[in-house]
Amino acid sequence: MISFHEVVKKNEGAILSAWIEEMVKGVRRADLMTDTELKQQARELLGLFAKAAESSSEAESEAFLQTREFLREIAKSRMDQGFTPTETARFVLSLKQPIFHALRDALKGNPSDLVNEVWASGNLLDRLALFTVDSAVEFRDQVIGRQQEEMLELSTPVVKLWDGVLALPLIGTLDSARTQVVMESLLSAIVETNSQIAIIDITGVPTVDTLVAQHLIKTITAARLMGADCFLSGIRPAIAQTIVHLGIDLVDVQTKAKLSDAFAMALSRMGKVVVARKPAAGMALGSKAKDN
Amino acid sequence: MERIPILKLGDFLLVTIQVDMHDQLAITLQDDLTTQIAKHASRGVLIDISSLEIVDSFIGRMLANIAAMSKVLDAQTVLTGMQPAVAITLVELGMSLSGIKTALNVERGMEILRQFSDQSYELQDANGFQE
Amino acid sequence: MASRSEVHPIAGAADVVKVRQVARSWALELKLSLVDQTKLVTAASELARNTLDHGHGGTMRVEQVENGLRRGIKLTFEDKGPGIPDIAMALRDGYTTSGGLGLGLSGSRRLVNEFDIKSEVGRGTIVAITRWK
């Protein structure tokens, strides 16, 4: 009995050229990859495949370790190049036809062996193709995870506006994970700077839904428990409408349209007023708050 | 029996909770405080919890009770120094302690108590009678 | 997949304090963030008090659990008390049989990542909570 790895080994050259021909006709994306690169990948993969198939027909086995690593590399580089996971999988799957053809020629007189070997090699290639899909998903998850972390770090600047007044300008969408970070950094900044007033500015938050509103209310409630007042500013007219339509209760929250309005309120709450500098008093500082 | 000390400072009573309280200790504190408020006719109670690592619903309820009871005895309660992690947890737990005044630290808390007691004296003077 | 576990009795008010300390030290060991530590310890305190008040005492098992790459702490509170006839009702905010705030079960559920409750009338109650790192 002849098994498929022997057929592949014997006809490696023919299979490779038939495979490349097949890909040039169908699967190839000339806009993303050159012919040379494609041929190089095909040759290397077929070589690894033929070698590994000699000792095993299980895609998860030790023998296919090198093949799997090569496919991981391909999945990653192709994703960077702009291939979809399907296209990468089809690159592997398109190897089926030339191998099947070679098997058909080699096992002409023995239909039952032919079916067995077609099944074994087909199954193996399916597994390897799925492996490229898994790798692509894994890479994408890594990218998403890294971006999320970067976003969390970037997105929570707590700034001091005045002695005792903090501002937290929020930009971007608020989800649970991010809200927790935002909440914690605001509350610890309140303690560190001994600030009685914190202004959360949501000018840069695209939408406010029930969940976001809940998160904001929780943050504001927690700040109150610690003894600080929290104002909400930067509420655009569209968001004000959404808040009312959704029936979100902001009764206990002090809101202002603009950050500057909230800041003015904060100063007056602390008993400070902003006065214009008298033209004569050259030495006095600019519009500076003065103790009442 | 173990007790949390209550300090008298003029018109005000001062409590610093530093130990991990078991439930009986919390109940004793509640009793002691109301007794002391009535005895000294105190105008305010300050409870500092800056070294408390958790506040669960039992301790939360005890704090709310103290605030409500002292209000009946015409004293203002201020809770000071709650840690951020404790505040976040209490909110998640579903307790907002909306009836209690809070302050960042003892200093701010004392200011609030003084304001409250000044205001109520002004009120008495203006009306010309005692509440 | 528990790597190790401990069982602590909950028989009196002092044990509620002990349970909090145990939960805290395990959370510290796993290097949970301060907020997550506080949430876990608070939930443990609520549930230990439930075990004591409603279940007439019982035990808490603490174990470190793993799920793929994530590690967490699982606390299991077990009592042989009267059990809870209507769990859905007991999990509602503000539902109380003891004159408390009714936040013990519903509140502690919000403080953890996983919450599992089994109860049989006349047999007892098991509440398991997990907080992942």
**CATH code assigned at A12:** 1.10.490.70
Distances (CA, A) of B11 to A227, B38, C79: 22, 12, 48
The predicted structure's pLDDT at residue B131: 42
Are A141 and A112 contained in the same domain?
Answer: yes
* Boundary-marking domain end, from A77, A112, A147: A147
CB pairs under 8 A between A and C: 3
Q: Out of B88, B102, B105, whose CB is closest to A187?
A: B88
B70 Cβ contact partners less than 8 Å away, ≥ 6 residues apart: B33, B34, B37, B42, B45, B76, B77
Domain assignment present for A154: no
* pLDDT 10s digits, A140-172: 888 888 887 777 666 678 899 999 999 999 888
Segments forming the whole domain that contains residue A180: 159-291
Domain assignment present for A181: yes
Strands C124-132 and A289-291 come out as unpaired
Distance from CA of B131 to the nearest CA of A (A): 29
Q: Domain coordinates of chain B in residue numbers?
A: 6-127
The predicted structure's pLDDT at residue B129: 52
* Chain B positions in Cβ-Cβ contact with residue A196 (cut-off 8 Å): 104, 108
A274 Cβ contact partners less than 8 Å away, ≥ 6 residues apart: A264, A267, A287, A288, A289
What CATH number corresponds to the domain at position A235? Answer: 3.30.750.24
The predicted structure's pLDDT at residue A280: 61
Q: Which residues of B touch C (CB under 8 A)?
A: 20-24, 53-58, 60-61, 83-86, 88-89, 92-95
* Chain B positions in Cβ-Cβ contact with residue A184 (cut-off 8 Å): 84-85, 88
| Residue C77 φ/ψ region, left for φ over 0, alpha for ψ in the -120 to 50 degree band, beta for the rest | beta
Distances (CA, A) of B94 to A98, A125, A210, B97, C114: 66, 55, 17, 9, 18
Query: Which chains reach chain B with 3 or more Cβ–Cβ distances below 8 angstroms?
Result: A, C
A286 Cβ contact partners less than 8 Å away, ≥ 6 residues apart: A277
Are A269 and A292 in contact by the 8 Å Cβ rule? The answer is no
Token pair in block for residue B19: 């130990």
Are B79 and B49 in contact by the 8 Å Cβ rule? The answer is yes
Record: contact B61-C100, CB cut-off 8 A: yes
Q: Out of C24, C42, C93, whose CB is closest to B89?
A: C42
Record: contact B91-A222, CB cut-off 8 A: yes
* Chain C positions in Cβ-Cβ contact with residue B94 (cut-off 8 Å): 93, 103, 106-107, 110
Scanning every residue of chain C, which has its alpha carbon at the shortest distance from the alpha carbon of A180? Answer: C35
Distance from CA of A32 to the nearest CA of B (A): 50
| Check: complex ipTM more than 0.85 | yes
Which residues of chain A carry a pLDDT beneath 50?
Answer: 286-292
The predicted structure's pLDDT at residue B128: 52
Distance from CA of B130 to the nearest CA of C (A): 36
* Domains held by chain A: number: 2
Task: Tell me whether A187 touches chain B (CB under 8 Å).
Answer: yes
Host H or E run for residue A232: strand A229-233
* Chain C positions in Cβ-Cβ contact with residue A218 (cut-off 8 Å): none
* pLDDT 10s digits, B86-117: 999 999 999 989 889 999 999 999 999 999 88
d(CA C92, CA A13): 71
Are A257 and A142 contained in the same domain?
Answer: no
d(CA A121, CA C22): 57
Give A283-286 contacts, CB < 8 A, sequence gap 24+.
none
* pLDDT 10s digits, C48-105: 999 999 999 999 999 999 887 789 999 999 999 999 988 888 888 877 777 666 778 8
The correct CATH number of B6-127 out of 1.10.10.10, 3.20.20.140, 3.30.750.24, 3.30.70.20 is 3.30.750.24
d(CA A219, CA A227): 13
d(CA A19, CA C15): 72
Host H or E run for residue A137: helix A111-154
**H helices, E strands: number in chain C:** 4, 5
* pLDDT 10s digits, B4-48: 999 999 999 999 998 888 888 999 999 999 999 999 999 999 999
The predicted structure's pLDDT at residue B118: 86
Are A18 and A93 contained in the same domain?
Answer: yes
A168: helix, coil or strand?
strand
Task: Tell me whether A184 touches chain C (CB under 8 Å).
Answer: yes
Rounded to 10 deg, the angle between the A35-55 and A65-81 helix axes is 160
Q: Residue written as tokens 């395990």?
A: C26
Rounded to 10 deg, the angle between the A111-154 and A96-106 helix axes is 170
The correct CATH number of C2-132 out of 3.40.1170.60, 3.30.565.10, 3.40.640.10, 3.40.630.30 is 3.30.565.10
Domain assignment present for A153: no
Are B77 and B47 in contact by the 8 Å Cβ rule? The answer is yes
Are A260 and A201 contained in the same domain?
Answer: yes
* Boundary-marking domain end, from A147, A168, A191: A147
Host H or E run for residue C116: strand C114-120
Are C39 and B92 in contact by the 8 Å Cβ rule? The answer is yes
Distance from CA of C77 to the nearest CA of A (A): 28
Are A8 and A143 contained in the same domain?
Answer: yes
Are A18 and A139 contained in the same domain?
Answer: yes
Helices assigned H by DSSP within B7-130: 23-40, 57-72, 84-93, 106-127
Are A13 and A143 contained in the same domain?
Answer: yes
**Partners of C125 in the beta sheet?**
C79, C119
The predicted structure's pLDDT at residue A53: 86
Task: Tell me whether A190 touches chain B (CB under 8 Å).
Answer: yes
Q: Based on the number of CB atoms within 10 Å of its own CB, is B126 exposed (0-12), middle (13-18) or buried (19 or more)?
A: exposed
Residues 219-248 of A with CB under 8 A from B: 221-228
Q: Out of B92, B98, B104, whose CB is closest to A226?
A: B104
d(CA C60, CA B25): 23
Distance from CA of B71 to the nearest CA of C (A): 20
Does residue C1 have a pLDDT over 50?
A: no
Distance from CA of C105 to the nearest CA of B (A): 10
Taking CA A198 as the corner, what is the angle to CA A195 and CA A200, rounded to the nearest 5 degrees? 160
Rounded to 10 deg, the angle between the B84-93 and A210-226 helix axes is 130
Are A165 and A129 contained in the same domain?
Answer: no
Record: contact B24-C13, CB cut-off 8 A: yes
Record: contact B108-A196, CB cut-off 8 A: yes
Are A184 and A65 contained in the same domain?
Answer: no
* Chain C positions in Cβ-Cβ contact with residue B83 (cut-off 8 Å): 38
Q: Which residue has the higher pLDDT, A197 or B131?
A: A197
Distances (CA, A) of B81 to B17, B47, B48, B86, C38: 11, 9, 6, 10, 16
Are A290 and A275 in contact by the 8 Å Cβ rule? The answer is yes
